[in-house]
Amino acid sequence: MSTSFSALLSRIQSRQAVVGIIGLGYVGLPLARAFSQNGFRVLGFDVDPAKVRKLTDGQSYIQQIPARDIQRMRDSGFEATDRFDRLNEPDAILICVPTPLTEAREPDLSFVVNSAQAVSAQLRAGQLVVLESTTYPTTTRKVILPILEASSLDAGKDFFLAFSPEREDPGNATHSVSTIPKVVGGLDAQSTELAANLYGSVVTSVVRVSTPEVAEATKILENTYRAINIALVNELKVLYDRMGIDVWEVIDAAKTKPFGFQAFYPGPGLGGHCIPIDPFYLTWVARQHGLSTRFIELAGEVNTSMPAYVVSKVADALNDRAKPVKGSKVAILGMAYKKDVDDPRESPGFELMELLMNKGANVSYNDPHIPVLPRMRHYPGLKMSSEALTPEFLASRDCVLIATDHTSYDWSMIVRHARLIVDTRNATKNVTEGRERIVRA
């Protein structure tokens, strides 16, 4: 047992360890709050100076974390910085950066690699490094480890390395960082022990697995499971619509079975950072091993086809009312990827907007959680502000497209004043008057 291990374990158990978190977004900032609330001093790193300034001023940029929580964190020693030369200060460094796809739908590990290189430049004996970013199995061992060992320090002796996948459910008050079990897989037994003790200080339970690869594969399995089942109901939605069967009623009936069935729901496309992306990480690594994950790739094809299907339903609905898409005024309700959050990552709303605009529609939107569209990597030209959801605005639109079913929406009011509604979320199911103006998609 190395002296570095013993000293670090003691600091973690006494909560004297300083926790460094790289990436203060929808994963990193809630994690920083959890450690701060449990007595750890937290040093947060981010490349965005605007985020650092807001946090330094006690402000928040994530809806689920109020400013008062940031102020309490500051009072407990939390500090945000864009100076990565300070990475030698934390005892534990947690990497929580994005892992997007390239245009060719291959893994883009540039954020992870850049973070690892920044850590390596400052790495000292007695530090624990944990990757949380979702990625394909072997990333920790084959990508992160060589970068860190370029520092001339030895893994398992001088520093320690583990993978622990993030498990965030934005907008769900029941599931928080502290209440969701944490899977931990270390490069060796000492790394696992340190990571398990660290996370065990802030979460209800820690699930130890044998290797980083098992922990990496666990996260991919969780999200691929959801992607495949959503693809199934999306495909059934298209079929049942053609057959005149209400897929939502079918799902409601099926979920009364107390065993062997879990309800998944169709939608206008997949959103969020995980489900639309993570399965493609697995298909990519499978090709490196000479295998084809046909089932996963088929699910991806079904899910990515949903925005085009929805736009075709909008076009059909307008056509039935003797109106072309070109020149029609279409309002999209909800640009967040799921209800009651301010997170637009991979939201199908952006593709819906672009597809409609390409067909000549005059598109506007309303989202109480996203007052101005952020700059999106794949949609840099979509610059727009949320319109006030008034009866007059609704009545002035040729079609209202429901993309996200925020609970703050008054569906009765919306149906009462809109001329035509295309509902992709079954949001209007309880509205009885004006149903002749509602089209399911």
> Which residues are marked as active site?
274
What gap in Å lies between CA 303 and CA 296, rounded to an integer?
11
Computed over its alpha carbons, how large is the radius of gyration of the chain? 24
What gap in Å lies between CA 254 and CA 241, rounded to an integer?
17
User: CA–CA distance from 108 to each of 19, 119, 315 (Å)?
Assistant: 26, 19, 35
319-353 burial, b for 16+ CB within 10 Å, e for fewer? eeeebebeebbbbbbbbbbbbbbbbbbbbbbbbbb
What gap in Å lies between CA 53 and CA 61, rounded to an integer?
11
Between CA 191 and CA 200, with CA 196 as vertex, the angle to 5 degrees is 155
User: In the numeric block, which tokens belong to residue 165?
Assistant: 């996948």
Pairing status of strand 182-186 against strand 160-163: antiparallel
Name residue 8's amino acid. L
User: DSSP for 216-283?
Assistant: HHHHHHHHHHHHHHHHHHHHHHHHHHHHT--HHHHHHHHTTSSSS-------SS--SSSTTTHHHHHH
Residues 306 and 234 sit within 8 Å (Cβ to Cβ)? yes
The helix/strand count (H/E) of the chain reads as 16, 13
Choose among 287, 328, 293: nearest CA to 311: 328
Q: What share of the chain is helix, strand, coil (3-state, %, to 5)?
A: 40, 15, 45
